[in-house]
Structure 1
Amino acid sequence: MAREKTIYPFAEGLTTGDAYAVLGSVPKFKKHKHAWKVWRALKEFGCLVYPVAEDLKRLDGSKVYANITELKDRVTVIVPCLLPEALVSLVSEASMSGAGKIWFQEQTWSPALQQECEELGIQVFRGCVLRHKIYPPLSLRYLNPCYWHGLEDLKVPSKRFGLR
């Protein structure tokens, strides 16, 4: 008998049942910066997630897509991990790919991008994906990453640390 997948909420309108595209650059994925951390966290949550970066073919065994339009009708949420200056065509590409939601990470949102999303009917979410990750317990509470990543936010149980 197949085990039913448990779906967890992130924010109103976003769940682990959505399909995600994490948009980054080669350095942000290869040097294990924010795009890589977001991609890994979403995978650990059990989400269907695709890495997107120009000039990168594979990432930890997964195929990397050159742009969002290659994922037409496969993703519902785009998670940009680049500064707004690098996201000039983000909203139009999201619209063309069929994604109806963009989850802006810290420092990726701009009023201009917000306005474009509103004009094309794309839902906007703001906040860090890593806020929803459970970190292993630490002896000193003030060192826990959850403190600055939203201790009170909804968390997705971690399979890695045996928390359910």
Structure 2
Amino acid sequence: MAREKNFYPLAEGLSTQDTFAVLGDAQKFQKHKHAWKVWRALKDFRCVVYPVAEGLSRIDGSKVYSNLAQLTDKVTVVVPCLLPERLKSLVPDAVSAGCSKIWFQEQTWTRELQQECDSSGIEVIRGCVLRHRLYPSKISLRYLSPCYWHGLRDVKVPMKRFGRY
């Protein structure tokens, strides 16, 4: 018997039903920095999510794609986790891959990227993916997470427990 998959709202019209590409570099994935945390959180939300980084073939058992072109027609949302100076071709690459939205993380958005998105018809969402993660109340570390505090009133995705939500 197949279980019905639950979908949950995220930021500004996004939901866990969307498909995501997390754009980072090998260091941000291997050293468990922001790109890895975002990718892991989206996986924990049971989203279809693909890691994208040059020079890396696998991470935690998942295939890593070297560019967005390899994901043409597979993703609806790109989540860049690189500084703006490393995102020069982001918008054209997203358009050619068939993406309709870019979810900019903290410190990745610029006015120039916004203008490129507006002229290309790409919807822009701003804010951290980790704001939507639900932290267990028994763990006091949630109070130390800036994403927890910044997203205190944001919609949260339930944590998996025993293989289900």
Secondary structure at the counterpart of residue 49 of structure 1: strand
Tell me how far 1:149 sits from its aligned partner.
Answer: 3.5
Cα 1:162–1:64 shift into 2, 3 Å: closer
Question: Which residue is equivalent to 1:39?
Answer: 39
Aligned length: 164
Q: Residue type of the partner of 1:108?
A: T
Paired position in structure 1 for 2:50: 50
Q: Which residue of 1 aligns with 2:68?
A: 68
CA 37–161 in structure 1, closer or farther in 2 if over 3 Å, else same: farther
Q: Which residue does 1:121 correspond to in 2?
A: 121
Letter in 2 for 1:148: W
Q: In the alignment, what sits opposite 2:157?
A: 156
Gaps of 5+ in 2: none
> Structure 2: how far apart are the matches of 1:3 and 1:114?
40
Deviation (angstroms), 1:84: 0.3
Question: 2-side partners of 1:140 and 1:36: how far apart?
Answer: 23
Q: Corresponding residue for 1:10?
A: 10
CA contact (8 A) 1:136 1:161 kept: no
1:65/1:163 CA distance change after superposition, 3 Å:
closer
Give the drift of 1:140. Answer: 4.9
- Closer, same or farther in 2 for the Cα pair 1:163/1:71, shift >3 Å? closer
Question: Is the 1:130–1:149 Cα contact (8 Å) retained in structure 2?
Answer: no
Q: Is the 8 Å Cα contact of residues 16 and 46 (structure 1) preserved in structure 2?
A: yes
**CA shift for structure 1 position 13:** 1.8
CA RMSD of aligned residues (A): 1.9
Shift of 1:45: 0.1
> Over residues 66-86 of structure 1, what are the superposed CA-to-partner deviations in whole Å (9 max), with x where a residue is unaligned?
001110000000000000000
* Contact 1:28–1:36, Cα closer than 8 Å, also in 2: yes
Q: Give 2:156's aligned amino acid.
A: K
The residue number in structure 1 matching 2:93 is: 93
Corresponding residue number in structure 2 for 1:103? 103
Runs of 4 or more off by more than 3 Å in structure 1? 138-142, 160-164
Query: Residue 51 of structure 1: SS of its match in structure 2?
Result: strand
Unaligned runs of 5+ in 1: none
TM-score by length of 2: 0.93
Given that residues 19 and 76 in structure 1 are in contact (C-alpha distance below 8 angstroms), is that contact kept between their aligned partners in structure 2?
A: yes
